[in-house]
Amino acid sequence: MDTAGSERAELCGQTLDGRYRLLRRIGFGGTGVIFEATCTRSGERLAIKTLRPCFVNHIDLGTRLCREVEVSRRVVHPGIVRFLDQGSLPDGSPYLVMPLLFGESLARLLARVGALPQREVAALASRVASILHSAHAAGYVHRDVKPEHILMSRSQRGELKVQLLDFGVCSSTLAPAEEKNREAGRVFGTPSYVSPEQAAGEVHVDGRADLFALGIVMFEALSGRVPFSASNVSKLLLRIIRDDAPSIAELVPGLDLGLDLIVSRLLARDPELRMPSARALSRALLPYSGDRHAADLRLSALLREGTLANDALTTVQRAAPENVQRVA
């Protein structure tokens, strides 16, 4: 019987479709396994995403994995990872080919250095909002924006590159009705970062759900903690639905009042009271980043060079409790 330590181990050393030789497993989660691979033709190092064996017959998980390719082809933005190829394993389940990513997720950076200065947070959030705007314009809602999915790296000249990863649980305006019907009453995303409408299991959420999640990311990056916590997932979701978020200004002395207002608007329980769009948010944050280029350089200087983005590559970090679908 497969275990977490051995699932898909038989693939190591195999060559898929005569093109991709799998070297080692570099990520494992609730539903996914990630391998480092090389292209037999070019020698390029790559990452291969697969489903765990127990999910090979799960229609929705296979569809969501392949939707990442769809997003990468339809959303034009440098912050979206480009999938290079896709195919099928011998068991019939899909695999995806993507560049091997190096850099540091925001989650790992925060764990290492703690809360960030407000100018850096504003500059980073503006970049993420720009990526979300492009995704929303193409008809996709990410539904799992969180620090693990915000990958930062720096160029040879020290310039900051920001990517938003893992559209594995995104909703799509192109999704068939039967898929949307199957999602009714289920919570998609990571509990600490979902919007009230997601926590309530609503099927039709729009881009403002991602803005709520980005508000939580900003709150955490500024203060070192998330605004909502509880002893279990059910209580956490209930808090997100019923309670107003605490004031970030009370936790961060000297925080610019304008930035406090932006975070408060993003965390409004009523979507109508949030920022109207990701583009509006990106523009609203610019005055609070000061010299944006300088803020980007300060952020890039904090990053560890040459780090394989393991935590950001993992498709799903752990199995979801109760009816919460967490793909990360």
Residue 105 belongs to what H/E stretch? strand 104-105
Q: Quickly list H helices, the chain.
A: 59-74, 106-113, 118-137, 177-182, 196-199, 207-223, 233-242, 257-266, 278-285, 292-302, 310-313
Contacts of the segment 62-69: beta carbons below 8 A, 24+ positions apart:
62/93, 62/94, 63/179, 64/168, 64/169, 64/170, 64/327, 65/32, 65/94, 65/96, 65/168, 65/315, 66/94, 66/96, 67/167, 67/168, 67/170, 67/172, 68/96, 68/166, 68/167, 68/168, 69/96
- Of residues 2, 60, 91, 144, which has the active-site annotation? 144
Question: Known catalytic residue: 210?
Answer: no
Pairing of strands 324-325, 187-188: parallel
Residue-level length of the chain: 328
Residues known to be catalytic: 144
